């Protein structure tokens, strides 16, 4: 491989064990982060889109049975899922004459599903925050360790020239670069997902009473 | 409620996304490798041409055929040999033949055993002011003349015998002894009891004190200009730099001569920088007249001895 030692992989081959361990940790962080990013991006996008379409349909059609039938097509949307849980509870109530009790039971079922949906939406997202916060420090640890080794080597060679100092520092700085490479996408994705999740949660809080009222007022 | 029923299809397949992310990272790495290779091919370096400078024309030194692989080291030592042989004259000392010294000889200086009585070999001569090498067009003729003179003198001498050799040796020893005790201008250790002083030729007793005070003065100056950190040395074993400087009457350091280098280039360079920074030194004492003097120092990590 011509000139391979001059590039990034040449530097990697000269790094110490601790720096390599740090790099492997950061690589695993990066892989998991990107998996979460890809998974959550698709999931939240579908949820937002399906919730929007479902709400349009819900306000358009007044029959809850039809809405329930239509909601079966929305597998990822949070609002259809909450509506389904309320509908199942509504159908399970035998004595529909006691409106207060029926309302309380439906509201409880809807509330439970909203909580479950909130948890589902925010699953794995805190890991992105963890990576965003800790990856630069892990990389910095690798750099500090590499520079320590570099200075030790300089002491052994008894030469403080730039040719003796620069390669070690260059190798050590790879860890910081890897930490930043893992952290930056994670932070960006975390902020984006948090904003989308807050939008969905607001919708859930806002439209849950509407669903309960729709079941109670069902003719 | 079972977990499998509650989790949607996308969440169950998170492991697939993990595999996808790992594959993407592998692809990025492969792309980086291929880019690096492509860049290396694009900026392919020209082939290195090694040029060995064998000799310089008109240098005044006859080429040595028997130098072999140790030619560089032998050439470095050559000036000291030239100093000790009187017929070759001062010019060969002041104008050393520029010899290409390869990296190995620079990085690993030849250690000289530490002996007080033996003058250590000169490793390199580094004049402060770059002097132009004066080419002598008739140097071969001068050499021929010198050879002829030597041949004439040897022809005039009687055939050597063991008694003559012994007497000559005794005479030489006596001469060396008298000269060593008598001159003493450089170090100031001259004693009044020497034979040369009785003859009126020695100046040691008078000049020694002033030179010592002058030396202590310049030692303090050099120490002030010497920036050196002991912490940067891993061990201080053998860390001594024997250096001699040639000081002109006005205090200018004309030459810095390493008698022995330390294993650490950092120490060697710091000594050189300190001496260069200290130039010009205070003018020589009046007792020394207008002549220049050589003063030797021993630099250690602890200070100047």
pLDDT, position B33: 83
Rounded average pLDDT over A35-57: 91
CA contacts within 13 A on the Cβ side of B258: 24
What's the CA gap between B292 and B301, in Å, rounded?
29
Q: What is the ipTM of this complex?
A: 0.76
Residues 181-240 of B with CB under 8 A from A: 232-234
- Is there a domain that residue A2 lies in? no
Class of residue B225 by CB neighbours under 10 A (exposed 0-12, middle 13-18, buried 19+) = middle
Domain count, chain A: 1
CB interface of A with B, residues 33-52, below 8 Å: 33-36, 38-39, 42-43, 46
Residues of chain B whose pLDDT is less than 50? 1-5, 59-134, 182-208
All structural domains of chain B with their residue ranges: 204-304
Q: Which of A98-102, A135-139, B153-157 has the highest mean pLDDT?
A: A135-139
pTM: 0.48
Of B290 and A109, more confident? A109
Q: What pLDDT score was predicted for residue A185?
A: 95
B67-84: pLDDT as tens digits: 444 444 444 444 444 444
Hey, is the C-beta of B32 within 8 angstroms of any chain A C-beta?
A: yes
With 60 as the cut, is the pLDDT of residue A130 above it? yes
Predicted pLDDT of residue B125: 46
* Contact flag B36-A39 (C-beta cutoff 8 Å): no
Is the Cβ of A88 closer than 8 Å to some Cβ of chain B? Answer: no
What would be the CATH architecture of the domain defined by B204-304?
A: 2-Layer Sandwich (3.30)
List b or e across A126-165, with b for residues whose CB sees 16 or more CB atoms inside 10 angstroms: ebbbebbebbbebbbbbbebbbebbeeebeeebbbeeeeb
Q: Which one of A10, A31, A36 makes the best mutation probe of the B interface by having the most chain B beta carbons within 10 Å?
A: A31
A32 in B contact zone (CB under 8 Å)? yes
pLDDT at position A27:
94
pLDDT tens across B182-227, in order?
444 444 443 444 343 444 344 444 444 567 788 888 888 888 888 8
Question: Does residue A3 belong to any structural domain of this protein?
Answer: no
Neighbours of B97 (CB within 10 A): 15
CB contacts, 8 Å: B40 with chain A:
2-4, 6-7
**pLDDT digit string, tens, across residues A150-194:** 888 777 777 767 777 777 788 788 899 999 999 999 999 999 999
A6 lies in a domain? no
In a domain, residue A5? The reply is: no
**Per the domain annotation, does A176 fall within a domain?**
yes
Domain of residue A196 covers: 12-216
CA distance A159 to chain B (A): 6
Question: Is the Cβ pair B40, A2 closer than 8 Å?
Answer: yes
Contact A34 B234 (CB under 8 A): no
């Amino acid at each position: 491989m011509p000139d391979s030692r001059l590039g990034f992989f040449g530097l990697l081959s000269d790094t110490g064990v601790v720096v390599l361990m740090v790099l492997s940790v950061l690589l695993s962080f990066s892989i998991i982060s990107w998996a979460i990013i890809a998974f959550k991006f698709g999931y939240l996008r579908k949820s937002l889109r399906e919730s929007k379409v479902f709400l349009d349909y819900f306000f358009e059609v007044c029959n809850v049975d039809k809405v329930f039938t239509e909601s079966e097509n929305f597998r990822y949307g949070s609002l259809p899922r909450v509506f389904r849980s309320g509908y199942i509870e509504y159908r399970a109530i035998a004595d529909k004459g006691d409106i207060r009790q029926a309302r309380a039971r439906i509201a409880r079922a809807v509330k439970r599903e909203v909580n479950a949906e909130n948890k589902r939406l925010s699953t794995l997202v805190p890991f992105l925050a963890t990576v965003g916060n800790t990856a630069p420090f892990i990389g910095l640890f690798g750099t500090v360790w590499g520079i320590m080794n570099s200075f030790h080597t300089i002491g052994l060679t008894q030469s403080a020239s730039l040719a003796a100092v620069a390669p070690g520092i260059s190798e050590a700085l790879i860890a910081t670069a890897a930490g930043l490479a893992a952290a930056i996408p994670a932070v960006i994705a975390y902020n984006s997902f948090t904003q989308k999740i807050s939008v969905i949660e607001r919708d859930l809080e806002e439209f849950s009473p509407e669903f309960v009222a729709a079941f109670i007022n069902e003719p | 409620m079972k977990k499998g029923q509650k989790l949607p299809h996308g969440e169950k397949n998170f492991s697939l996304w993990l595999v996808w992310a790992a594959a993407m990272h592998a692809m990025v790495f492969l792309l980086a490798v291929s880019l690096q290779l492509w860049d290396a091919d694009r900026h392919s370096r020209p082939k290195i041409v090694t040029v060995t400078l064998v000799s310089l024309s008109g240098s005044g030194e006859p080429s040595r055929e028997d130098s072999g692989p140790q030619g560089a080291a032998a050439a470095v030592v050559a000036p000291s040999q030239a100093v000790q042989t009187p017929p070759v004259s001062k010019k060969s000392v002041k104008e050393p033949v520029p010899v290409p010294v390869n990296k190995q000889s620079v990085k690993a200086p030849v250690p000289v055993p530490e002996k007080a009585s033996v003058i250590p070999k000169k490793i390199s001569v580094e004049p402060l002011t770059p002097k132009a090498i004066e080419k002598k067009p008739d140097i071969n003729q001068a050499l021929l003349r010198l050879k002829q003179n030597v041949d004439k003198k040897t022809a005039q001498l009687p055939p050597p015998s063991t008694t003559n050799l012994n007497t000559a040796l005794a005479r030489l020893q006596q001469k060396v002894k008298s000269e060593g005790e008598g001159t003493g201008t450089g170090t100031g250790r001259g004693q009044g009891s020497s034979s040369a002083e009785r003859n009126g030729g020695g100046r040691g007793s008078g000049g020694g004190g002033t030179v010592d005070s002058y030396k202590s003065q310049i030692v303090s100056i050099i120490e002030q200009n010497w920036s050196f950190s002991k912490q940067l040395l891993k061990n201080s074993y053998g860390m001594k730099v024997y250096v001699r400087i040639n000081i002109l009457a006005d205090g200018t350091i004309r030459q810095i001569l390493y008698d022995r280098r330390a294993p650490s280039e950092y120490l060697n360079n710091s000594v050189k920088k300190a001496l260069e920074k200290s130039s010009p030194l205070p003018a020589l004492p009046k007792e020394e007249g207008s002549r220049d003097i050589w003063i030797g120092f021993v630099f250690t990590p602890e200070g100047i001895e």
